[in-house]
Chains A and B, each alone.
Chain A
Amino acid sequence: MKHDELDAALDSFGDALASATRVTPGNALRPEDIAVDGIAPGEDVAQYALTLGDDALILAQRVANWISRAPELEEDVALGNIALDVLGHARSFLTYAGLAWDKTEDDLAYWREEEEFTSLWIVEQPNGHFGVTIVRQLIVSIFQHLLYQKLATSQDETLAAIAAKAVKEVDYHRDHAIQWTIRLGQGTKESAEKMRHALEILWPYVDEMFRDEAVHQNLESIAVLPSTLREAWQEEISAVLAEAGLEIPATGQAMAYGRRGEHSEHLGYLLAEMQVLARKHPGASW
């Protein structure tokens, strides 16, 4: 280490202010940067970015509901971090999609109706007990991790950049969900039973994640075809569930078509809560 490097390291040593203002290099793609660069995507790419943004936005809203309600303070912070990470992904995807229609991320988040949201049913499912939230996170994080890994090589540079940043964060969300799944599955009789219950509630929304839709057409080497992720996902989640002593439940699959704007009864309530403030005070900022 050179002297000036050492000095810089020592300057921040034990100094909370120094660390709070330090920025990670190479980790700096923010929604604001996307808006400033202003390279608008084509209609097809924008529609695709919207689906990814909607998944992230609705999941973030759900997970954020745990804040102040998690079983322990430490878990509260963990879930809060995860919600904020995912919200960050939503902001980037929605900002990028909005450039095609001259709309901001807020326009898209707060001023669309339920049938205009293209998110998957799995992300709008209620938090339930802690086990339900963990299983939902397990299912979605493994999916998003595989998806963003591939999307990071997309020919659309903005999508690739958003995915490259998101993949590291989702990797941690995945790990967090895996750790809890194993502990709860192997934990007490009650925790294992609750995990089985959670898997039964959520498994019906698995098939929808991997269904190729119209939005994925005409985007070869830009979009990731969901069906191509199924095998790796199945392998990974099966291994986790096996370690946790849990099984894939034998449930049917829901007729879920969130990508087409058809949603379960839960999304309307979620949106009402998420959008009420922005709609009551249009243009307000704080």
Chain B
Amino acid sequence: MPQNKHRARSPNMSQQNNWPLWEVFVRSSRGLSHVHAGSLHAPDAQMAVRNARDLYTRRNEGVSLWVVKSTDIISSDPDEKDSFFESPQGKDYRHATYYKASEGVKHL
């Protein structure tokens, strides 16, 4: 795996904690997507789901939970922010509003 580029996030948040870090995704209601809610420590996947239930669904927030090992998440590199996210600037033609509806076109 190339260094720096597409780096996996380090779980080394606490030196004393031997439990791996997990990222928690909560689906708040049927029909919606799972949304990242936060992270937690747990010894294994099953316990991570249970801890997530205790930490992130106490007030009826969710109908479904996903947990993913933080080390399994591949993130974009903050140093490459420019080339990654700013290239669409000035490319207005990528937006629908760039185009004018031609005269006489119905149902637009």
Nearest-Cβ distance from residue A133 to partner chain B, whole angstroms: 16
Count residues of chain A with CB under 8 A from any CB of chain B. 24
| Nearest-Cβ distance from residue B14 to partner chain A, whole angstroms | 10
Q: How large is the interface on B (under 10, 10 to 19, 20 to 34, 35 or more residues)?
A: 20 to 34
Asked whether B46 lies within 8 Å of A19 as measured between CB atoms, the reply is no
Q: Which of B17, B28, B41, B55 contacts A9 (CB 8 A)?
A: B28
Shortest CB-to-CB span from A70 to chain B, Å, is 11
Q: Does A275 contact B (CB under 8 A)?
A: no
A7 → chain B closest CB, angstroms:
11
Tell me if B40 counts as interface (CB < 8 A to partner A). Answer: yes
Whether the pair B41, A74 counts as a contact (CB closer than 8 A) is: yes
**Chain B 28-51 against A: per-residue CB contact (8 Å), 1 yes, 0 no?**
111110010000111110110011
In the assembly, what is the distance between CA of A9 and CA of B29, in Å?
Answer: 6
What string of 1s and 0s marks CB contacts (under 8 Å) between B47-82 and chain A?
A: 100110111001111000000000000000000000
State the Cβ distance, A66 to closest chain B Cβ, in Å: 13
Hey, which chain A residues are within 8 Å of B60, CB to CB? 19, 22-24
Q: Is A13's beta carbon under 8 Å from chain B?
A: yes
Q: Is A250 interfacial (CB-CB < 8 Å)?
A: no
Q: Which chain A positions have C-beta within 8 A of B54?
A: 74, 77-78, 81
The answer to whether residues A179 and B46 also contact, given A1-B30, A9-B29, A19-B28 and a CB cut-off of 8 A, is yes
**CB atoms of B47 and A179 under 8 A apart:** yes
Pairwise interchain contact A72-B50, C-beta atoms closer than 8 A: no
Given A74-B51, A179-B46, A9:B31 Cβ within 8 A: yes
Instruction: List, sorted by A's number, 30 A–B pairs whose CB atoms are closer than 8 Å.
Output: A1-B30, A1-B31, A6-B31, A9-B30, A9-B31, A12-B28, A13-B28, A13-B29, A13-B35, A14-B28, A14-B35, A19-B61, A20-B59, A22-B59, A23-B60, A72-B19, A72-B41, A73-B41, A74-B41, A74-B51, A74-B54, A77-B54, A77-B55, A78-B50, A78-B54, A81-B58, A172-B53, A175-B50, A176-B50, A183-B43
- Residues of A1-26 at the interface with B, using a CB-CB cut-off of 8 Å, are 1, 6, 9-10, 12-14, 19-20, 22-24
- Do the beta carbons of A74 and B40 come within 8 Å of each other? yes
Contacts of B17 in A (CB 8 A): 72
- Give A10 to B30 CA distance when docked, in angstroms: 11
Residues of B within 8 A of A75 (CB): 51
Closest 6 pairs (CB-CB, A-B) = A9-B29, A74-B51, A19-B61, A78-B54, A77-B54, A19-B59
Contact of A74 among B32, B42, B46, B61 (CB under 8 A): B42
Alpha-carbon separation in the docked complex, A107 to B35 (Å): 46
CA distance A6 to B61 in the complex (A): 15
Find chain A residues with CB under 8 A from B55 CB.
74, 77
Residue of A nearest to B44 (CB): A183
Q: A13-B35, A77-B54, A77-B55 are in contact. List 6 more A-B contacts (CB 8 A).
A: A1-B31, A6-B31, A9-B28, A9-B30, A13-B28, A23-B60
Q: Which residues of A contact B30 (CB under 8 A)?
A: 1, 9
How far, in angstroms, from A24 to B32 measured CA to CA in the complex? 19
Least CB distance from B68 to A in Å reads 16
Closest to A78 in B: B54
- Which of chain B's residues has its CB closest to A8's CB? B29
In angstroms, Cα B35 to Cα A13, docked, is 9
Q: Which residues of A contact B47 (CB under 8 A)?
A: 179, 183
The residues of A that contact B31 with a CB separation of less than 8 Å are 1, 6, 9
